[in-house]
Copies of this chain bind each other. A is one copy, B any other.
Amino acid sequence: MANLKDIAQIAGVSIATVSKALNGLGGVSQETTEQILSIARDLNYRPNLYARNLKRRKSRTIGIITEDITVFNAPPIIDGIGAYCEKQGYHYLLENLRLNNLGIDPALDITSHNNIVNEAVDFMMSMQVDGLIYLGCHSHKVLHLPSIQDTQFVCTYCSCTDPSVPSILYDDKKAGYDAAKFLIGQGHTLIGVIAGPPTSNHSINRLTGYQEALFDSGIPYNPKLTLHGDWNRDSGYELAGQLIQAGVTAIFSQNDIMAMGVIDYCRQHNIEIGRDLALIGFDNREICTVSRPTLSTIDIPLFDIGYTSASILIDKIEGKSSDLTGEILLECSIVERESTKYIKKD
């Protein structure tokens, strides 16, 4: 690969002149500039960023550490991060921990998780990143690592629970509130919830929102209408039966997958979703448009979460930091489809 020296030699000028011409820093005649540009083009010159960044002592690069890139929420978040980076002339480095592939559960095997995170962080720091984004649900386990102490750090998708570190995520409680309010607005008062496991913060927060919506609407909260599933389809199927027995006219399933179980249960028991039962899911995954009825759901602003994360990090890096810190909650939105709308059949 051609370098400044090669160009300088051909043009018969010094390296400094070439550098100034190529970077448009002035002090070079127009004639010489044009000649240099033309030679650079001919040689297909591309600046060596290892040299440039070494000298400039900055990389304009941030690092993304993701627990697993194959999880459905990771790519849109990365996409959003990339969009903001591009806008600001930053680049990003991606380290995919491949936790699922490696069979590491950070909850059970803290040491392995720490080791693998440390390795990723070390690489990033060696690459002189200006800041780091951790994408995954175990950021709180990572916070105390010495390796991350000398860089800007931001958590995305989940809260790291440390008020001094920005966590950019979506507002589970508000989403739960909105889902319930939406169903209440359609006239429902007996609204069942198929929640996630009681150990899940997502689940608890969504539930709290649901309860607040009931309260605000003067509807008493009946704990028997809240059942905890395991996020999997079959638990949706099973719990649907119990809720329907209990007389609910609407179900808020805390993810789309369990809602598919509900749909199947209803079909088998001749309950027509839309007319006999309103159903709303959570996540807005692909299945929602493919199922029949199509599934109303809560859309998580994944792209925005990524975009906002990058913007907060880069603002911090550039010192124009607002004092944003702690949890930053983005709003979800309701996507209305057939499962909450009665569609008359032909």
Contact = CB atoms under 8 A, between A and B. Distances in A.
Contacts of A72: 286
A150 B1 contact: yes
B54 A79 contact: no
From A54, A91, A233, A289, name the one whose CB has the most chain B CB atoms within 10 angstroms: A54
Interface in A53-100: 53-54, 59, 69-70, 72, 74-76, 78-79, 82-83, 91-94, 96, 98
Contacts of A147: 44
A51 to B, nearest CB: 5
Contacts of A53: 50
Interface stretch (A124-132, A175-183, A201-209, A321-329): A124-132
Stoichiometry, as copies per complex, reads: 2
B44 A54 contact: no
A287 interface: yes
5 contacts: A47-B126, A48-B126, A50-B54, A69-B78, A260-B291
Nearest to A97: B82
Q: Is the interface of A mostly helix, strand, loop or mixed?
A: helix
A147 B1 CA distance: 12
A290 interface: yes
A215 interface: no
A158 B31 CA distance: 46
A83 B101 contact: yes
A46 interface: yes
A79 B99 CA distance: 11
A149 to B, nearest CB: 8
